[in-house]
């Protein structure tokens, strides 16, 4: 296609291109067909593929640019590219720009299914696209009455920004704990940048303004992606807020090697970096960096008594200066109804008073770790929790070790040492250990309050190498953790920085390089 083309042409070569997207939508695409738009040019309208069109993994329908640069699709109040009840589609090397109506009502690239049953539509590829000005930048979902979603979905190298509800959103039918359907399967999101997705100031009945949202998925990964500065215009009275990267109603999801920072919320809820929300099971959050978020760096939450929130792991992550606006959260926060079997280990969390949103928030300092009611089978091992005088841990109840167990953690404060355990507040590790029966193993004391020598308590932490400011620098006097054999926990192969995890471990996300 070219602005200099003619819809009377056969459209089979750059020398005889079509001119308009209206003409394209009158053509039924077959496996192996390619729609190519001239790079650097702008095309008004939308591209729609319906049931019976598109292709397969071996012979997909491709929507692409040719020549120099990306072509731009600029719809008028409609989706940029809409694929309905079909798959076998590649979308690549394009820009999509929405208008005011599209910002409220349409997806930049939308894959949707209304097909009944459990047979997924297989093979979707979205690569090297820039999407802005839509309700959702990229959406993949099913109608509420349908269970058939999409499988084998890859989104790579996408930039999704300045959209309203989310940069990327997967969604499906309402969760059924007795028969969880998980509409989508085999999802890979890699090297995506989701930023400045603002949220809707007029929408108080749902969350808006997230970076990447995964709902109703099985077997999914979000890898080496970035979510930042989202949620700045979300509703001030919303009961649900946005997150940088979060998951709900899903199983077997991995979030790893991502960064999520400066995400906001207009209200007093959410606004964090990473989240495992309602009905998430058998999922892992590892090797991620969160900093400067309004809400928690890492949130694990269940608000529904389904019993489906279980068997999750949060390990080898870094949280620095999170809960900037909402001290009622903390660096890592875990709570919820009927949540069970959660492992939180080898994370490094630094919480500082400096930079809190208000003087009132400075009085009510956020803790490094907050534990609320409703959980059982929770293990918190080998983490570094460090503050500049704020509470290290705040637990809503006086959990016994049969319900929630803390072992091998480092609790350090450059100011007064405080830890809240139910109605009681402690000023030393020894006193809390004696009263709570926490931080013991086989009758021996575990854990420490020694200084882990983190530059991040005084020096800013941000992107890339700055995370090195949260590596302990105490030489041989590193905070000792408990080994894999003692804990009976699979610690995984490497730490946050890729160093191999040896049998002798230290607390926190950074392990000393193996020798020999």
Locate 55 and state its tokens. 């292709």
| pLDDT at residue number 515 | 47
Contact 238, 203 (CB under 8 A): yes
pTM above 0.75, yes or no: yes
| pLDDT at residue number 223 | 98
pLDDT, tens digit, 9 for 90 and up, residues 23-34: 999 999 999 999
Give the span between the Cα atoms of 510 and 304, in whole angstroms: 35
pLDDT at 516 over 50: no
| pLDDT at residue number 304 | 86
- CA 453 to chain centroid, in Å, comes to 29
Share of the chain above pLDDT 90, in %: 78
| pLDDT at residue number 4 | 94
| DSSP output for 420-439 | EETTEEESSHHHHHHHH--S
Contact 84, 48 (CB under 8 A): yes
How confident is the model over 176-184, as a mean pLDDT? 89
Strand partners, 432: none
| pLDDT at residue number 180 | 87
pLDDT, tens digit, 9 for 90 and up, residues 348-377: 999 998 666 554 544 678 999 999 998 999
C-alpha atoms less than 13 angstroms from C-alpha of 332 in its C-beta half-sphere: 27
| pLDDT at residue number 358 | 54
Contact 36, 61 (CB under 8 A): no
Contact 369, 380 (CB under 8 A): yes
Average model confidence (pLDDT) across the chain: 93
Pairing of strands 34-38, 42-44: unpaired
Locate 411 and state its tokens. 């609790």
> Sign of torsion, CA 411 417 419 424?
positive
Share of the chain above pLDDT 70, in %: 96
Q: How many Å is the maximal CA-CA distance in the chain?
A: 85
Cα distances from 122 to residues 152, 481, 500, in angstroms, run: 6, 45, 37
pLDDT, tens digit, 9 for 90 and up, residues 70-115: 999 999 999 999 999 999 999 999 999 999 999 999 999 999 999 8
């Amino acid at each position: 296609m070219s602005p200099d083309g003619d819809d009377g042409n056969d459209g089979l070569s750059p020398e005889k291109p079509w001119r308009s997207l209206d003409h394209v939508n009158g053509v039924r695409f077959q496996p192996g067909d390619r729609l190519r738009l001239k790079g650097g040019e702008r095309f008004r309208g939308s591209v729609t593929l319906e049931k019976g069109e598109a292709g397969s993994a071996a012979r997909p329908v491709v929507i692409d640019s040719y020549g120099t640069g990306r072509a731009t699709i600029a719809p008028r109040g409609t989706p940029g590219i809409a694929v309905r009840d079909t798959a076998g589609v590649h979308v690549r090397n394009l820009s999509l720009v929405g208008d005011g109506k599209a910002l409220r009502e349409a997806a930049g690239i939308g894959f949707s299914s209304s097909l009944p049953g459990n047979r997924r539509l297989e093979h979707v590829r979205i690569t090297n696209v820039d999407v802005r000005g839509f309700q959702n930048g990229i959406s993949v979902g099913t109608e509420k009455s349908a269970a058939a979603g999409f499988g084998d979905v890859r989104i790579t190298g996408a930039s999704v920004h300045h959209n309203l509800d989310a940069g990327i959103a997967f969604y499906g039918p309402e969760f059924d704990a007795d028969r969880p359907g998980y509409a989508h399967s085999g999802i890979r999101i890699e090297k995506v940048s989701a930023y400045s997705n603002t949220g809707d100031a007029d929408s108080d009945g749902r969350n808006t303004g997230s970076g990447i949202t995964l709902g109703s998925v099985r077997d999914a990964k979000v890898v080496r992606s970035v979510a930042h500065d989202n949620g700045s215009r979300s509703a001030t009275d919303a009961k649900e807020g946005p997150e940088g990267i979060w998951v709900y109603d899903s199983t077997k999801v991995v979030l790893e090697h991502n960064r999520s920072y400066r995400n906001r919320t207009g209200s007093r809820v959410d606004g964090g970096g990473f989240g495992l929300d309602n009905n998430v099971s058998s999922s892992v959050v590892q090797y991620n960096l969160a900093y400067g978020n309004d809400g928690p760096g890492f949130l694990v939450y269940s608000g529904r008594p389904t019993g489906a929130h279980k068997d999750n792991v949060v390990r080898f992550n870094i949280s620095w200066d999170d809960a900037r606006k909402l001290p009622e959260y903390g660096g890592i926060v875990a709570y919820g109804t009927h949540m069970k079997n959660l492992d939180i280990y080898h994370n490094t969390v630094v919480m500082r008073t400096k930079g809190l949103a208000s003087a009132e928030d400075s009085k009510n300092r956020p803790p490094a770790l907050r534990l609320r009611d409703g959980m059982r089978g929770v293990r918190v091992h080998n983490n570094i929790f460090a503050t500049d005088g704020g509470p290290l841990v705040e637990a809503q109840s006086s959990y016994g070790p049969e319900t929630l167990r803390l072992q091998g953690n480092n609790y350090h404060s450059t100011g007064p040492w405080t830890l809240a355990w139910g109605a009681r507040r402690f000023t030393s590790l020894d006193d809390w250990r004696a009263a709570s029966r926490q931080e013991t193993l086989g009758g021996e004391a575990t854990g420490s309050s020694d200084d882990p020598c983190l530059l991040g308590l005084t020096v800013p932490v941000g992107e890339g190498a700055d995370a090195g400011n949260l590596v302990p620098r105490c030489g041989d006097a590193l905070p000792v953790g408990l080994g894999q054999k003692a804990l009976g926990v699979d610690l995984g192969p490497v730490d946050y920085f890729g160093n191999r995890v040896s049998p002798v471990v230290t607390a926190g996300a950074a392990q000393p390089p193996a020798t020999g």
